[in-house]
Structure 1
């Protein structure tokens, strides 16, 4: 646009000048070699302009002819470079999409068109293609080669860090991260990895100093920095609680102030206060975090706040804590545990059953097994509760990056990320624990403890019309029988009208018996209802000795 505007300005000035000369006639006299030349002023000006234009045109032609070889080389070199960068761009896109074949082909084209020593992206693409092709050693060697060039050293460290993480070499990945942090302290991934390394080794002061540097350089926002600092202070207070209670008190209280909803910070702050006799302040801290989200460790710490309390005093404290967040499963569990310890078995059972009605979980069934053993000593009922606990949903636990821990930690053991642990259910099981449509009491009444068979599978009822095995006691078919046709222990009596030869069935008859068995009926037929010799299936509850009576009426068994 500026060139066009400049052209119009020049034309305007020339036109203005020629118009000015045309309005003022005159002659130009030139004496040269004894000759006198006389021309008009307009002709002289036009001649001067033409001479200047001719000189400029001649100079441009000469310059173009002289510089044409260089210009031609530069044109082909730029074209080659553009094709090389186009191949490099296509290769990077293919590598990002996981197309190793296209990426490898583009590498070959880029190496022909570009200088490998001057273009580090070719090395990066080559390493990525090697990773896609499964050649981890070649990829690692290419990243290590990048360490020799100051321009690509950080890139090589990043590649080695990611490769070490992919292979699960945590020590190697943290080593590369620390080296990258020394080279470029402002790089977030390197600083975070170095912070995780210090946290893993218990260097709390070094981790806190590094966190302050990150906060000063604005690598992390203010709120995240506060929560990360609270996690580090909590871990430091936990580690120094036994050796230096007074020092741990200030650290724990500061951590609790920075993150009031952080459960481990509240627990360690309450513990140091309880140890020094400040029961009221420690209880207020636990009550505050309990109102946000009840936690079993909070309940345990709150109930056992004061040494020397009786079991009834602890039950009273559990009731008070549960009243702050009623109708929550953790509140009911806190009362149930305290009531069991105090011998209030009825209250403990009611609280545990309340958990099963609202949110069934493994710990509630295990607690009911303990209550059953203490109250009745019925091992059959205890086994029933334990079998239900196996199939119940798991309790929440401290989980970080798929790793489940019994205790909280300030950083993930997998990635080293701070505040990665969350209190949640690690694995959700499918299916209800109790049949839908049955409440808790009806489920208990419908599923009494029954003798069980050691077999894993229970076969359908054998109709009265089919030949059956005569027995006065349980008869089991061993697993080595041909086809393993009859797996369950059955009891049957033959009608008196049967002939002896019909009752004497050889082992080869089992296949024929299985071939005529109808599918499992949803409801017994009328003839089956009248027949008193139906075989009773055995529920699957391994570990209980089977004991049956031949005259036992037929019914459908349900485990749960």
Structure 2
């Protein structure tokens, strides 16, 4: 609409000028080099306008002629760029599809067509890795460190190579460099935490975990549990150095971070007992039991009165589990204490309730001991041993990464090195008890 109005206005101006000139006729004579030209004012204006238009069109055509080579070069470059990006895309697809030959071929083609090393170096490094040439991939990743825009990608590639090769010191240094470059990247913080934990650098791991929680990289509950695990390992190290006070303080912090974390509770209770704070140790265990019942807490609580009479010891265990008396671990703890005290009826009652709810080889094995202790007949418990052989295995500290079983909790899996992977659960595919009473 605006263009139409502009055209109408321009046309009106031209018509007005033409009418004005037509109303004022006149003659013009031009003498030049022996020539004489007689014409009207209107004709002179028309010829002048035509010459100006022809001159403008000529200049425009001349400019187009001058720009043709540059446009041709630009078209050639754009065509190479399109083909280069196409090769780059096909190469990435080949990497994802696991086709090393096609990936290498497209990487070379993209490198020839594109004058953008940051893009082609990444594809070349991935193609080399896919082809099994780790040395070439390392060269590409190292070259990427020299460019600001690719430094982080190069660090990540070298870090992954170091971790696969088991070079923990190099991986740790690369992870710290990556954190300095991109401190808000989630995988950098989690990887650095795992590497520091595997290296036993628990203070550094605690600081990295605090930074990850501040940046909201981990859920709150996960972060608190991992901090409890890190603090517990620091407490163990302090205890190994005979710094019992420091160990107790660290264990207290671990317990406060996650009160359902049984290893931290058990360590805190045991260290309180070692520093002659038995009553506080008992209160800690009794309050923590409903949150995370576990045999480790029972053992630590029983050790507070190791020389107590067996009947008194059984009563103490009943006081420990009073906050959650019907839980399987509560019944197992009471049954084991009653068995040691010779209270066969109580032990049998608790164990029968356990096998009715969650049968396990551990419960049946204790029933066999009750049967033998009550009757004095070594053969009397064989029926329970046969049931134990076919029952599901008892819970144990099991690594969620490799399914290996450990006798005690560790922050680092002794088998595969997974960080904070040990869980109290029934092992997957764990061997059952032997079927013969003699070997049992």
TM range (shorter): 0.7 to 0.9
Report how far residue 268 of structure 1 moved.
Answer: 3.0
- SS state of the match for residue 291, structure 1? coil
CA–CA distance in 2 between the matches of 1:307 and 1:294? Answer: 20
Is this contact kept in 2: 1:196–1:411, CA < 8 A?
A: no
After superposition, the C-alpha distances for 1:512-547 in whole angstroms (9 at most, x for unaligned) are xxxxxxxxxxxxxxxxxxxxxxxxxxxx85979xxx
Check if 1:347 corresponds to 2:349. no
Report how far residue 413 of structure 1 moved.
Answer: 6.3
Q: Relative contact order: is structure 1 or structure 2 higher (C-alpha 8 Å, sep ≥ 6)? A: 1
- Residue matched to 1:177: 175
1:231-250 to structure 2, matched below 5 A, reads 231-241=229-239, 243-250=242-249
Report how far residue 88 of structure 1 moved.
Answer: 1.0
Larger-Rg structure: 1
- SS state of the match for residue 409, structure 1? coil
Report how far residue 22 of structure 1 moved.
Answer: 5.8
- Residue matched to 1:17: 13
CA–CA distance in 2 between the matches of 1:195 and 1:59? Answer: 69
- Residue matched to 1:320: 319
CA–CA distance in 1 between the matches of 2:233 and 2:17? Answer: 94
- SS state of the match for residue 353, structure 2? helix
Q: Residues 7, 229 of structure 1: CA spacing in aligned structure 2 closer, same or farther, 3 A cutoff?
A: farther
CA–CA distance in 2 between the matches of 1:161 and 1:99? Answer: 24
Is this contact kept in 2: 1:161–1:173, CA < 8 A?
A: yes
Check if 1:72 corresponds to 2:72. yes
Report how far residue 338 of structure 1 moved.
Answer: 0.9
Unaligned runs of 5+ in 1: 434-539, 545-560
Report how far residue 359 of structure 1 moved.
Answer: 1.4
1:119-130 to structure 2, matched below 5 A, reads 119-130=117-128
Report how far residue 78 of structure 1 moved.
Answer: 0.7
- Residue matched to 1:261: 260
Q: Residues 400, 18 of structure 1: CA spacing in aligned structure 2 closer, same or farther, 3 A cutoff?
A: same
1:60-459 to structure 2, matched below 5 A, reads 60-115=60-115, 118-147=116-145, 151-166=149-164, 170=168, 173-217=171-215, 219-220=217-218, 224-241=222-239, 243-279=242-278, 281-372=280-371, 374-376=373-375, 378-380=377-379, 385-386=384-385, 388-398=387-397, 399-402=399-402, 403-410=404-411, 419-427=420-428
After superposition, the C-alpha distances for 1:388-442 in whole angstroms (9 at most, x for unaligned) are 54443222233242243333334566887764433222315799x9xxxxxxxxx
- Residue matched to 1:58: 58
CA–CA distance in 2 between the matches of 1:31 and 1:212? Answer: 96
CA–CA distance in 2 between the matches of 1:92 and 1:154? Answer: 19
Among 39, 42, 54, the alignment partner of 2:41 is: 39
After superposition, the C-alpha distances for 1:294-317 in whole angstroms (9 at most, x for unaligned) are 222223233434454332222112
Is this contact kept in 1: 2:393–2:431, CA < 8 A?
A: no
Is this contact kept in 1: 2:360–2:392, CA < 8 A?
A: yes
CA–CA distance in 2 between the matches of 1:135 and 1:420? Answer: 32
Aligned residues: 429
Please identify, of 133-142 and 199-208, the stretch whose mean Cα deviation from structure 2 is larger.
Answer: 133-142
CA–CA distance in 1 between the matches of 2:29 and 2:213? Answer: 86
CA–CA distance in 2 between the matches of 1:51 and 1:262? Answer: 95
CA–CA distance in 1 between the matches of 2:310 and 2:355? Answer: 25
Is this contact kept in 1: 2:401–2:418, CA < 8 A?
A: no
Task: Judging by fraction of residues, say which structure has more helix.
Answer: 2
- SS state of the match for residue 401, structure 1? coil
Q: Residues 430, 251 of structure 1: CA spacing in aligned structure 2 closer, same or farther, 3 A cutoff?
A: closer
Is this contact kept in 1: 2:348–2:370, CA < 8 A?
A: yes
Q: Residues 63, 293 of structure 1: CA spacing in aligned structure 2 closer, same or farther, 3 A cutoff?
A: same
Unaligned runs of 5+ in 2: none
CA–CA distance in 2 between the matches of 1:181 and 1:125? Answer: 24
Report how far residue 334 of structure 1 moved.
Answer: 0.5
CA–CA distance in 2 between the matches of 1:137 and 1:395? Answer: 48
Q: TM-score normalised to the size of structure 1?
A: 0.64
Report how far residue 75 of structure 1 moved.
Answer: 0.4
CA–CA distance in 2 between the matches of 1:131 and 1:18? Answer: 74
Is this contact kept in 2: 1:160–1:176, CA < 8 A?
A: yes
Q: Residues 6, 271 of structure 1: CA spacing in aligned structure 2 closer, same or farther, 3 A cutoff?
A: farther
Report how far residue 61 of structure 1 moved.
Answer: 1.6
CA–CA distance in 2 between the matches of 1:369 and 1:178? Answer: 56
Q: CA RMSD in A?
A: 4.0
Q: TM-score normalised to the size of structure 2?
A: 0.79
